[in-house]
Amino acid sequence: MKNHRKLLVSIFGGIGLFVLILLGTMFYFGSIGATIAYINGESVYIYPKKIDLGNQEAGTETVAVFYMKNLMANDISVVGEKSSCTCAFSEKIPITAQAGKTVELRIKTQLPKYESGYDQIISLMVAESGRLAMHPVQVTARIPNPLEIPVSVEEEQNNDIAQTENHK
């Protein structure tokens, strides 16, 4: 019976110590996400990873706001961003995050005029400890009323020629 009691005390003592350490690191880093990122060896914690802008008007310019917490003991900088189009950009890059501090990253997005949705992955280029690391974030939106694709002048002329030939 005494051995079972010692075993239970050891187990609950270990669990209690783990919880105390976890709570201490969460207090230090400010969130469980930042704590997990630090435990996983990440130098930054970017949140949210995905922003859904919901329903938007065709061609609208919006701003998606992300936050980056520097988990390192030295300053790091966001030196650029990369996406598959020029429809997402930030005017405030480069931006430096001091050790242990959080900075706001505002990504302007130009939503499409002729499509019913927007889904863009933007890779933030972070200069950290002598290397360049890519940290992806995602912006999505729905455009319930996209504009009709305009008919070009050339297509109109071809249609006029075809209609004229049909009437001959």
List, as one string, the DSSP characters of 75-110: -EEEEEEE-SSTTEE-SS-SEEE-TT-EEEEEEEEE
Residue 152 lies in a domain: no
Residue 30 lies in a domain: no
Total tally of structural domains belonging to the chain: 1
Here the CATH number for the domain that contains residue 59 is 2.60.40.10
pLDDT by residue (tens digit) across 109-139? 999 998 999 999 999 999 987 889 999 999 9
Residue 116 lies in a domain: yes
Q: Report the distance separating Cα 74 and Cα 94, nearest Å.
A: 16
pLDDT at 163 over 80: no
pLDDT at 154 over 60: no
Residue 16 lies in a domain: no
Residue 120 lies in a domain: yes
Domain range for 101 is 44-142
3-state secondary structure 110-132: ECCCCCCEEEEEEEEEEEECCEE
Q: Report the distance separating Cα 36 and Cα 29, nearest Å.
A: 10
Mean pLDDT, the chain, integer: 83
pLDDT by residue (tens digit) across 5-44? 777 667 777 776 676 666 665 566 667 777 777 777 888 9
What is the pTM for the complete model shown? Answer: 0.73
Residue 92 lies in a domain: yes
Name the band, by pLDDT with cuts 50, 70 and 90, for residue 58.
very high
Residue 88 lies in a domain: yes
Q: For position 54, what pLDDT does the model report?
A: 95
